[in-house]
Amino acid sequence: MSAPKEKKNVALFVTCLVDLNRPSVGFAAVKLLEAAGCTIMVPEVQTCCGQIAYNSGDKESAKEIASQVIRAFQGFDYVVAPSGSCAGMVRHHYKELFEGDDTMMVAIEELAGRTYELTSFLHDICGYRPEDVRLDTTLTYHDSCSSLREMKVRDQPRALLGAVEGLEIKEAEDREACCGFGGTFCLKYSEISESMVDTKIENLLASGAGTLAAGDLGCLMNIAGRLKRRGAPMKVMHVAEILAGMGEKPGLGEGDS
Amino acid sequence: MQVTSRRFKDSAHEALHDKDIQSAFSKVKGGFPVARAKSAGELPEFEDLRDQARDLKNHILENLDYYLEYFEDQVLLQGGRVHWCSSYAEAREVVLDICRDANAKTVTKGKSMITEEMALNEHLSAHGIEPIETDLGEYIIQLAHEHPSHIIAPALHKTKDQVTELFHENHGKYGFTERITDPQALVNEARSILRDKYVNADVGITGANFLIAETGSTVIVTNEGNGDLTQSLPKTHIAVSSIEKVVPTLEDASLFLRLLARSATGQEMSVYTTFSTGPKRMEDIDGPANFHVVLVDSGRSDLLGSDKQDLLRCLKCGACMNHCPVYQAVGGHTYGWVYPGPIGAALNPHMVGLEESRHLPNASTFCGRCEEVCPVRIPLPKIMRHWREQAFETQVTPKPERWGIGIWAFFAKRPKLYRLMTRVSARALKLMAGKKGVIRKLPLMKGWSSVRDFPAPEGTTFMDQWKKQQREGK
Ligand code: SF4
């Protein structure tokens, strides 16, 4: 890809989990996007994409929150989220939410067309490749369901991780299987979720990798939380952190030191 | 059949602690999905065929009345009869009447989900007619007085040892007194018993994978050939079918046939694909003297024109459940009615009521694998979400859940308040975790803590840190 003529104006959709739980993912995203030649803005009125309400059947709340997102992200060249799930909500599900509302649909289509998941944006749109990033470890990558199936993200994070020196990728069995997070699913059907995350964990551990990365914090918190409960020694990081050279910091659930 | 979907959570708990069920269903993922991926991969036009199949089914559903009447005309021309039934009760009576007319004592049955829906076996038995399932899996669960746990592999939940015991208990009266364990020997034993049943049955009842309008044929696919014997040996053949199975032409049926077995078991074609067109003609060597088609609606026409019409495209291939991680975890019976897995989660609320089955469309992570493999591209997660919306609107969703969402949405809609709330939460949670980095017990989130630790937040929200950085000029 040729060098960009003008800097892309990118609005970062921080996402509620990153904002609350792991801000370093947001900063990693900013760092990567800047390195990829973008100017970053973080609209202040953003909270969440509305998926929790949407998937719980509360369509009215979901619509109100979606309207807020649509307003907040007007006027940027791109909207990028360090999450396939939230990007997928904006790209695909807002249309369903406002089906039949032609006035909203124009704004939604327009927003959907410029909304991306982070790694695919870096790879496909910016032609970015991490340089001088080193992490000596073995890593396995978990495909989040929404990244994989809604946003068609599979090869992009792997290609980016491939440019990290010292990193060896070890693919796990059945890597396209769900980890059992599913938003409120993991709270409401915790026993089923437990069985699913255990199956996932068996496969991740069997890969022999020391670190797990993924592009969605929901899955990562679920898997990390279960790994911790089981006392299994696998470090869990968001892919953005690794790509941004922050791979040495403690993983999810490891505290500060 | 008795609906037990209300017990979903309890049934799931039991299934998750049942070693046999766990070993049976966890094996699913290494079997059918692998075979499906391989056979789909070997057919370059597979994805195009799925589009064509979806579009054709949509066309059929738009013109369902036309094709059904066309089908009826052709059946009549061939000398058969068609019975239109709006309910299960009506369909049961029609079948019973036909059996009585035939003075039936025993009827053989091919595998059929619609007769499962209408609880036909129970009805026939109650009226002194013995139904005999001839599909091996169905035969096994009939002996065990159970229901299918998978739509194409009904006895998936049964272990070999359980089958050994069942046969030992039930086959003594046929002179088989030895307890056998070899799978092939078990199959042979069942076969030799069924052989007599075929010959002696007065009526053969099958389902139908397709009804072909242009010829008036009913089509079944099987791997055991049991369907052929069921429908061609007895004097009377009854094909029971739901109304959405009709397709315009033979050519159209071949489109679906190319997808069906590949999606279901990964076979290019099932071993037997059998077409029945009318009763035996003068020049035919064999075949039934009477040919009846029982068309059952039972709520299906209500789906036409609704936001859930796409469900009527279903080919009953089972791919969605084969690929479903929830199904693999809890097995088929947990769903509590005829259809398990994603198709059950999307269809059963319509068939048995949303209140009864509200857990089904909720117990999904929306991972999307079902939609990814459905040969007719039914948007199963979307339909499940529609049920959730309906449950929320009609207050079927329990209050605590509604309140939880309400409180969360209240904040999410007010960015300033939301900032305050997240600021406080991030700090509080961090404090709770202390140096450990995780919280073992989260108040109000038992569902989380019962299974996992909670990875503690870093302590200051992204938004607060970002603002500070901006103020300080980075
Ligand atoms: S919903 Fe689709 S995948 Fe599931 S049984 Fe029906 S046709 Fe097959």
Per-residue model confidence as pLDDT tens digits over B386-406: 999 999 999 888 898 899 999
Rounded Cα gap, residues A96 and A109, in angstroms:
11
Q: Does B458 touch chain A (CB under 8 A)?
A: yes
Rounded Cα gap, residues A231 and A213, in angstroms:
18
Residues of chain A neighbouring B417 (CB-CB closer than 8 A): none
Beginning with the edge strand found earlier in the chain, give each strand of the sheet holding A115-117 in spatial order. Answer: A38-41, A8-12, A78-81, A115-117
Please tell me whether residues B57 and B194 are part of one structural domain: yes
The answer to whether residue B351 sits within a structural domain is: no
The three-class DSSP label of residue B41 is helix
Q: Does A180 touch chain B (CB under 8 A)?
A: yes
CA distances from B321 to A243, B149, B362 (A): 37, 10, 16
The answer to whether residue B313 sits within a structural domain is: no
The answer to whether residue B151 sits within a structural domain is: yes
Indicate which atom in ligand 1 lies nearest the CA of residue B341: 4
Rounded Cα gap, residues B99 and B129, in angstroms:
8
Last residue within a domain, chosen from B243, B272, B301: B301
What amino acid occupies position A249?
K
Residue whose CB lies within 8 A of the most ligand 1 atoms, among B221, B244, B343, for a mutation test? B343
Q: Measure the N-to-C terminal CA separation of chain A; round to a whole number of Å.
A: 40
Q: Does B26 touch chain A (CB under 8 A)?
A: yes
Which residue among B362, B438, B451 places its CB closest to the CB of A193? B451
The continuous run of DSSP H or E covering A220 comes out as helix A217-230
Last residue within a domain, chosen from B267, B284, B301: B301
Q: Is the dihedral of CA B99, B105, B110, B115 positive or negative?
A: positive
Rounded Cα gap, residues B155 and B140, in angstroms:
7
* Residue bearing tokens 């909500």: A89
Q: Does B428 touch chain A (CB under 8 A)?
A: no
A72-104 tens-digit pLDDT: 999 999 999 999 999 999 999 999 999 999 999
pLDDT-derived band of residue B261, with 50, 70 and 90 as boundaries? very high
Query: pTM score, two decimals?
Result: 0.95
Indicate which atom in ligand 1 lies nearest the CA of residue B316: 5
The three-class DSSP label of residue A11 is strand
CA distances from B374 to B40, B47, B243, B270, B424 (A): 12, 11, 20, 18, 45
The answer to whether residue B196 sits within a structural domain is: yes
What's the mean pLDDT in A41-59? 94
Helices B250-264 and B32-41 pack at an angle, to 10 degrees, of 130
Residues of chain B neighbouring A226 (CB-CB closer than 8 A): 451-453
Rounded Cα gap, residues B382 and B266, in angstroms:
26
Residues 169-228 of B with CB under 8 A from A: none
The answer to whether A97 and A60 are in contact (CB under 8 A) is no
Please tell me whether residues B404 and B296 are part of one structural domain: no
Range of B433's domain?
A: 400-471
The three-class DSSP label of residue B253 is helix
Q: Does B432 touch chain A (CB under 8 A)?
A: no
CA distances from A109 to A92, A112, A114, A154, B179 (A): 9, 5, 9, 24, 66
CA distances from B40 to A137, B44, B150, B265, B348 (A): 36, 8, 21, 11, 28
State residue B474's pLDDT score: 61
Residues 66-95 of B with CB under 8 A from A: none
* Residue bearing tokens 């050939």: B225
How far does the CA of residue B153 sit from the closest CA of chain A (Å)?
22
**B84-114: b or e for each residue (b if 16 or more CB lie within 10 Å)?**
ebeebebbbebbbebbeebebebbbbbbbbb
Q: Chain A residue with minimal CA distance to B406? A: A61
Residue A5 reports pLDDT greater than 80: no
The three-class DSSP label of residue A173 is coil
**The domain that contains B241 carries what CATH number?**
3.40.50.10420
State residue B394's pLDDT score: 92
Contact state of B448 with A187 under an 8 Å Cβ cutoff: yes
What's the mean pLDDT in A9-19? 96
Last residue within a domain, chosen from B279, B301, B323: B301
Please tell me whether residues B87 and B218 are part of one structural domain: yes
Q: Does A120 touch chain B (CB under 8 A)?
A: no
Residue A225 reports pLDDT greater than 90: yes
DSSP letters along A174-190, please? Answer: TTTS--S-TTTHHHHTH
B270-301 tens-digit pLDDT: 999 999 999 999 999 889 999 999 999 999 99
Residue B204 reports pLDDT greater than 50: yes
B389: tokens are: 């919306």
- What angle (nearest 5°) sits at the alpha carbon of residue B213, between those of residues B207 and B214? 135
Q: Does A202 touch chain B (CB under 8 A)?
A: no
Residues 146-165 of A with CB under 8 A from B: 146, 149-150
The answer to whether residue B312 sits within a structural domain is: no
Residue whose CB lies within 8 A of the most ligand 1 atoms, among B320, B324, B326, B372, for a mutation test? B320
Contact state of A199 with B451 under an 8 Å Cβ cutoff: no
* B330, B367, B384, B445: best to mutate for the A interface, most A CBs within 10 A: B367
Indicate which atom in ligand 1 lies nearest the CA of residue B343: 1
Contact state of B452 with A57 under an 8 Å Cβ cutoff: no
Please tell me whether residues B431 and B290 are part of one structural domain: no
Q: Chain B residue with minimal CA distance to A257? A: B435
Q: Does B455 touch chain A (CB under 8 A)?
A: yes
How far does the CA of residue A44 sit from the closest CA of chain B (Å)?
8
**Which residue segments constitute the domains of chain A, with CATH numbers given?**
8-123 (3.40.50), 131-243 (3.40.50.11810)
What's the mean pLDDT in A125-149? 95
The answer to whether B396 and B431 are in contact (CB under 8 A) is no
Question: Looking only at Cα atoms, what is the longest distance across chain B?
Answer: 96
The answer to whether residue B180 sits within a structural domain is: yes
Mean confidence (pLDDT) of chain A: 94
What amino acid occupies position B229?
L
B307-332 tens-digit pLDDT: 999 999 999 999 999 999 999 999 99
A28: tokens are: 């990693």
Residue B316 has, within 13 A of its CA and on its CB side, a CA count of: 22
Q: What percent of chain B has pLDDT over 90?
A: 88
Q: Does A226 touch chain B (CB under 8 A)?
A: yes
Closest CA relative to residue B110, chosen from B236, B204, B223, B10 = B204
B176-186 tens-digit pLDDT: 988 999 999 99
Q: Does A47 touch chain B (CB under 8 A)?
A: yes
The alpha helices in A22-137, defined as continuous H runs, are 23-35, 51-55, 59-72, 84-88, 94-97, 102-113, 118-120
The continuous run of DSSP H or E covering B225 comes out as none
Contact state of A196 with B330 under an 8 Å Cβ cutoff: no
Q: Which residues line ligand 1 (CB under 6 A)?
A: B 314-320, 343, 374-376, 378
* B365, B388, B393, B446: best to mutate for the A interface, most A CBs within 10 A: B365
What amino acid occupies position B410?
F
Contact state of B465 with A228 under an 8 Å Cβ cutoff: no
The answer to whether A30 and A103 are in contact (CB under 8 A) is no
How far does the CA of residue A1 sit from the closest CA of chain B (Å)?
30
Residues of chain A neighbouring B391 (CB-CB closer than 8 A): 57
Residue B130 reports pLDDT greater than 90: yes
Q: Does B398 touch chain A (CB under 8 A)?
A: no
The answer to whether residue B8 sits within a structural domain is: no
State residue A1's pLDDT score: 47
Contact state of B385 with A199 under an 8 Å Cβ cutoff: no
Residue B131 reports pLDDT greater than 80: yes
Domain count, chain B: 2
Contact state of B451 with A229 under an 8 Å Cβ cutoff: yes
Please give the backbone phi and psi of residue B53, each rounded to the nearest 5 degrees, phi first: -65, -40
B29-81 tens-digit pLDDT: 889 999 999 999 999 999 999 999 999 999 999 999 999 999 999 999 999 99
Mean confidence (pLDDT) of chain B: 94
The answer to whether B331 and B153 are in contact (CB under 8 A) is no
Rounded Cα gap, residues B107 and A252, in angstroms:
62
Rounded Cα gap, residues B384 and A89, in angstroms:
16
The answer to whether residue B24 sits within a structural domain is: no
